[in-house]
Amino acid sequence: MERSLDLELKNRVSGQPAPSGNRSRKSRRFKAPTLDSAQALGVKAAFAALSIGVLIMLWYLGTRYHVQFYIRFQNVPTPYDVFREAVHVVGSNAFGKNIGNSLRRIFVGFAIAVVAGVGVGLMIGRYRIVNQLLMPAIEVLRPIPAIAWVPMSIMLWPTTESSIVFITFIGAFYPILLNTVDGVESLDGVLMRAGRCLGASEVQLFWHVILPGVLPNIFTGLAVGMGVAWVSLIAAEMISGQYGVGYYTWEAYSLVNYPAIVLGMITIGALGLLCSGAIRLVGQLSMPWLAYVNGARK
């Protein structure tokens, strides 16, 4: 008995595991096998392909058999019709110009929304006086949809391009702002007190405590804001634009070119997916500690 106790003490001091008969109950828990990053990426890609494949199959079946059960498919182009339209226009300069204009507008409007939304959100969440001054006006303007701003933006801004960028900014600004405010208000007060005790100034608190703690909320707002920005941009291009994917889709509707309508919709979805994926990638690179936190939770 004494020999076994001495052996266990030596193992603990040396850092070696205790014999199997004396292991704790926690160490005997079953550990599920985990997939490495390549396998996980492959599984994710397989599920994504399956999801998109099912959607395309439903689309094909609806157009192939002209389903008219409440939803009417008799005028909807088939996937092959849209593919032919894509082959016809994707290489043209006009289609590339439309995509380039939409991307430029979304990047400019979204960049301004990020700077303004994050900056104002940090101020509102941190200082009560700023919250009391700005939030009432923001809450009055926030329910107004971006599409309702189109007539006013045409009157406010000197060019059509400026008004479309403004509409894109409006769509992305509020999700980014509100998520930033929520992140600052939900930040653990212990972190702030610890920073104060260590002698951190207000600027140092913002840079080393508040901003890292709020980053998950900020990137959530960026992802939501990007989706709303695309919705706002397409609506603005349909109403007052001369170029862009939204203008291309609306022009196709005016010309009763159904395959071009669907191609414009698919292009909008693909561009939005790429933009959201870029935001998620930047978020993962900016917050590497979340991988350890998520791994610990699993």
Phi, psi (rounded to 5 degrees) for 198: -85, 0
Looking at the structure, tell me whether residues 89 and 168 fall in a common domain: yes
Looking at the structure, tell me whether residues 63 and 204 fall in a common domain: no
Looking at the structure, tell me whether residues 162 and 237 fall in a common domain: yes
Residue 64 lies in a domain: yes
Rounded Cα distance between 22 and 264, Å, is 66
Q: Is the pTM of this model over 0.85?
A: no
Residue 10 lies in a domain: no
Q: Confirm if 233 and 264 have CB atoms less than 8 A apart.
A: no
Residue 26 has pLDDT above 80, yes or no: no
Q: Which of 41-55, 66-80, 136-150, 189-203 has the lowest mean pLDDT?
A: 189-203
Residue 286 has pLDDT above 70, yes or no: yes
Q: Which residues contact 98 (CB under 8 A, 6 or more apart)?
A: 243, 244, 245, 247, 248
Looking at the structure, tell me whether residues 64 and 103 fall in a common domain: no
Average pLDDT score over residue span 47-72: 89
Looking at the structure, tell me whether residues 254 and 124 fall in a common domain: yes
Token reading at 175: 């999700």
Residue 12 lies in a domain: no
Amino acid at 270: A
pLDDT tens sequence across 160-173: 899 999 999 999 99
Q: Give the distance from CA 76 to its chain's centroid.
A: 30
Residue 243 has pLDDT above 50, yes or no: yes
Domain-terminating residue out of 76, 108, 138: 76
Look at the chain and report how many structural domains it folds into: 2
Q: Residue 140 maps to which CATH number?
A: 1.10.3720.10
Residue 293 has what pLDDT? Answer: 56
Residue 27 lies in a domain: no
DSSP-derived letter for residue 149 is G
Looking at the structure, tell me whether residues 172 and 106 fall in a common domain: yes
pLDDT tens sequence across 127-153: 999 999 999 999 999 999 888 998 899
Rounded Cα distance between 220 and 210, Å, is 16
What 3 state SS string does 106-132 have? HHHHHHHHHHHHHHHHHHHHHCHHHHH
Q: Is 288 exposed, middle or buried, given 0-12, 13-18 or 19+ CB atoms closer than 10 A?
A: exposed
Residue 15 has what pLDDT? Answer: 44
Q: Is the pLDDT higher at 263 or at 41? A: 263
Looking at the structure, tell me whether residues 47 and 158 fall in a common domain: no
Token reading at 127: 């200082």
Q: Residue 114's domain spans which residues? A: 78-297
Residue 33 has what pLDDT? Answer: 45
Q: Is the pLDDT higher at 289 or at 266? A: 266
